[in-house]
Structure 1
Amino acid sequence: MNTDDLIARLATDIAPVRRNAVGRRLATGIALGVLVSIFLVVVTLGVRPDIGPAMRGFPFWMKWGYTISLSIAAIVMTAQLARPDSRSLRWLWLIAIPVLLLAGVGVLELARTPPGEWLAMWLGHSWMVCPWLVLTLAMPIFVGLLWSFRRLAPTRLRAAGAAAGLASGAFAAAIYCLHCPEVSAIFVLTWYSLGILLAASVGALLGPRLLRW
């Protein structure tokens, strides 16, 4: 049997993959993880009591805009790396946009704030726990993405794990906004981002082990 015959036999009766199958699979995994993370926030941390008024203010939407933008950019990367032909990450530069925009807001905040108050604005009231809570909330979403990858075919396992961790951390940070009362852009840029990077690091560490197929 020559190579062409072998390929023809292997391809016989193979059902075509549905359009956007990768996106649907990833969306299902994320949705399952997000539900668990929201449940954890509601049951263990509690939704901030002033969530209604907070959602009418700029700081809340600043945090959500930053975290959701990172989530979208990270999930685009994850979808690329879920395929076996992922050679170049064409949309990697998108991650820099929300970071730079939030950094600009932070600079404006510092310019309007007396230097003696900068440290308090940077640390807030929860800097010691914020990154770890984001990391904890990211784990159910990361597990959901691992489930998604079981039917996909990544070849760059460490990069795929890092992208999945980054997406998990960004979605978790968006969910954490339901509890977090901090309002400073420089706080969000530092401590939210640290939690997201921790989740990406966990994904990069575990990717080669858990994403094999």
Structure 2
Amino acid sequence: MNTDDLINSLSADVAPVRRGTVGRRIALGLAVGALISGAWVVLRFGVRPDLGVAMQGFPFWMKWAYTISLSLAALFMTAQLARPDSQRLRGLWLIAIPAVLLAAVGATELIRTPQTEWLAMWLGHSWQQCPWRVLGLAMPIFAGLLWSFRRLAPTRLRAAGAAAGLAAGAFAATVYCLHCPEVSAIFVLTWYSLGILLATALGALIGPRLLRW
């Protein structure tokens, strides 16, 4: 039997995959993980009491614009890497856009603020807890994405793990905004991003082990 005959024989009884299956699978894993992380924020940390007022101001939406746009860019990569034909990764540059825009906002804040207040803006009140909380909140979302990958066919396992970690970290940071009262762009750019990077690094580290098929 030649190669073409073998391929035809193996694929003869395989049902075609419905359009959008990859996206639905990833969305389901993401949604379940995000619900768990959201419940964790509400029960463990508590929603900030002035959330309604905060949502009327620029800082809250600045944080959400950063984390949500980063989440979507990471999710776009995750969906590509869930397929076996992911040798050429498209749209990688999209990840840089939210960080550059937030850095521009942070630079504007620094220009308008006396230098004596820069350290307080950068550290806020929770810089020591923020990255670790984002990392912890990312774990249920990361687990949900890994569950999604188990029924898919990633071949670049380290890259897929890193993309899933990045998406999980960014979505976790989005959820954490419901609790976090920090308002400085440089705080978000530093400490939120550190938590997201920790989740990305963890995903790259354990991705090859957990995604092997």
Q: Following TM superposition, where does structure 1 have runs of at least 4 consecutive aligned residues deviating by more than 3 angstroms?
A: none
Per-residue CA distance 1:64-123 (angstroms, 9 max, x = gap) = 000000000000011111111101221000001000000000000000000000000000
Deviation at 1:5, TM superposition (A): 2.1
Distance 1:3 1:190 in 2: 53
Deviation at 1:2, TM superposition (A): 2.5
Alignment of 1:1-40 (within 5 A): 1-40=1-40
Where does residue 77 of structure 2 map in the other structure?
77
Where does residue 65 of structure 1 map in the other structure?
65
TM-score (norm 2): 0.99
Q: What is the alpha-carbon root mean square deviation over aligned residues?
A: 0.6
Distance 1:140 1:4 in 2: 43
Deviation at 1:7, TM superposition (A): 1.5
Alignment of 1:129-208 (within 5 A): 129-208=129-208
Distance 2:89 2:11 in 1: 29
Distance 1:201 1:195 in 2: 10
Q: Which runs of 5+ in 1 are unaligned?
A: none
Deviation at 1:133, TM superposition (A): 0.1
Aligned residue-pair number? 213
SS at match of 2:4: helix
Deviation at 1:194, TM superposition (A): 0.2
Where does residue 107 of structure 1 map in the other structure?
107
SS at match of 2:75: helix
Distance 2:2 2:193 in 1: 54
Distance 1:13 1:210 in 2: 29
Deviation at 1:3, TM superposition (A): 2.2
Q: Which runs of 5+ in 2 are unaligned?
A: none
TM-score (norm 1): 0.99
Structure 1, 1-10 or 126-135: larger mean CA deviation: 1-10
Distance 1:50 1:121 in 2: 20
Distance 1:173 1:146 in 2: 19
Letter of the 1:166 counterpart = L
Letter of the 2:55 counterpart = M
Alignment of 1:86-97 (within 5 A): 86-97=86-97
Distance 1:68 1:23 in 2: 17
Distance 1:200 1:11 in 2: 36
Deviation at 1:11, TM superposition (A): 1.2
